Structure 1
Amino acid sequence: MADTRFGCAPFARITLIPRPLWRDTLNDGLAEALRPLCKKPVSETLILDASLEESSGALTKALRELFNLDWQLDDLGLHQVKTVRPRLRQLALYALPEQRSALDTLTHRQRATAHGMLAARRLADLPAEQCTPQYVVEEARRLCADIPTLRCEVLDEKAIVEQGLGLLHAVGKGAERPPRLLAIHYDGVSEGPVRCYVGKGVTFDTGGLWLKEGAGMYTMKYDMCGAANVLGLMLSIAELALPVRVMGVLALAENAIGPAAMQPAASPGPVMA
């Protein structure tokens, strides 16, 4: 267990984390020890002593846990009672001079990973009423706009049919919010094979005319997490400037109930081929 001590001037709180927790890769002990530092911070600055940890893997895990635990979605006005929640604003790492170069590389990688991860989590946590196929496209364009190595290509509902993408069309044709296919291209090198990652982006899945039961429908906004993860992956790859060529494809649709919804057990025809 971590040992927390208060009133240790000039520090507001000192938390001692045993080395076995740093090296535990199977359980959540490290996350549990770090959780109070993010959920109930006593200061806007957290100083993490990295000088004693020989393994970069442990520090990598700690940084990922901190980035993950610090995640908040406070800008939507979802809470009826507005509360001021303290949060960390700065993370400082203490290390020996000879560790500086390796530490700079490690923190850059984890920061890039966190940027992609948090972008994905934000999309996943947005209400389905807001996070529509077109919204995901606009958000992706916004996030990619300042990154020269990323470019976006979008197919609307007409182009989806023209390109023979019948399954995506069939899933989304019953909704008022039409489907979209978003391709994000990254060229870290001029030649070589293109790696392709495809993410399922059903922004809400009612089941269509084959309606899901209430308990099963509650979490169906998360049917777009595959697409959100692909977007986050592309952002992280670009920030890391990896020497690869990658295409991320987000298949975006809302599976809704309506006169045009796909019939249950419909036979695959030319439109769905």
Structure 2
Amino acid sequence: MKKLLLASALVFAAASQANAAYFTAGSSYYSTSLKHGQDVKSKGFKLEGGNELISLGYKHQAINFDRSKDIDDLHTLYGIVHHTFDLGDNLSFNAKGGLSLAWEDDFKISKNYGVFASGSFNYQLDNEWAVEAGAGIAKNKVRSVFFPVLQAKYGDPSLEGLSFVVGFPKNEATYRFTDWFALRGNVQYGGYNYVKLSEHSSYARSGYFYDKQYTATVAAVFTPHPAIEIDAGVAYAFKHEYKFYNSDGDLINKYKLDNSCNFFVTGGIKF
């Protein structure tokens, strides 16, 4: 584990040496209940850094139940390679590929992994409008999923006024009032992160856990400097479920949770 974290830190440092590098850090919290009444609280944080070619990140989540055993040490480490190829005449191609490792106690790459790849064409219609279309695939020990990439984009969120992205996988709108302040809202699917549970887990021994949710967020965006951004806001989670799978990837249990509001803060810097 120490070697893994050290290697991650070294890659972060290497990525930060390139042009257009960035680093972000954020935390989140929610408090809700299972449908049968048990209270649930979750807190987490996320670190990510990278440049124009690679992004690397680490996420941690702890879930506390008031009448059941906690799931309090979930880790996710991920890396994404991304590049845009200029094809001329307002046309470009976006290519992405990534690997994630998610675990509770036992770190075994052959059982913790998730991979994905996607490709999409982006066409700039004019100075304000662009469209993107493509597809991708994601795979882990539980399931494989094909997904579309189909989006329309308007405006530039760094400029005053309205800008937005609609479609899949991203739906987001920003209204910038000044150089240093904007409001941003989005609706998103909670991810594709299946975490390998401990061999001693009371929920699914050596199985997998999935925190499935949809979220709608509203945030105040502060930009005190062109290289610094701070987001603070509220997220509303709905269609929220905890799913548990055995070691073969078969669903063995799921719990529905009440809709809930949570708070988050994220800060980022470019250099």
Shorter-normalised TM-score: what interval?
under 0.3
Larger radius of gyration: 1
TM normalised by structure 2 equals 0.28
Higher fraction of strand: 2
TM normalised by structure 1 equals 0.27
Kindly indicate whether structure 1 or structure 2 has the higher relative contact order, using CA contacts under 8 Å at least 6 residues apart. 1
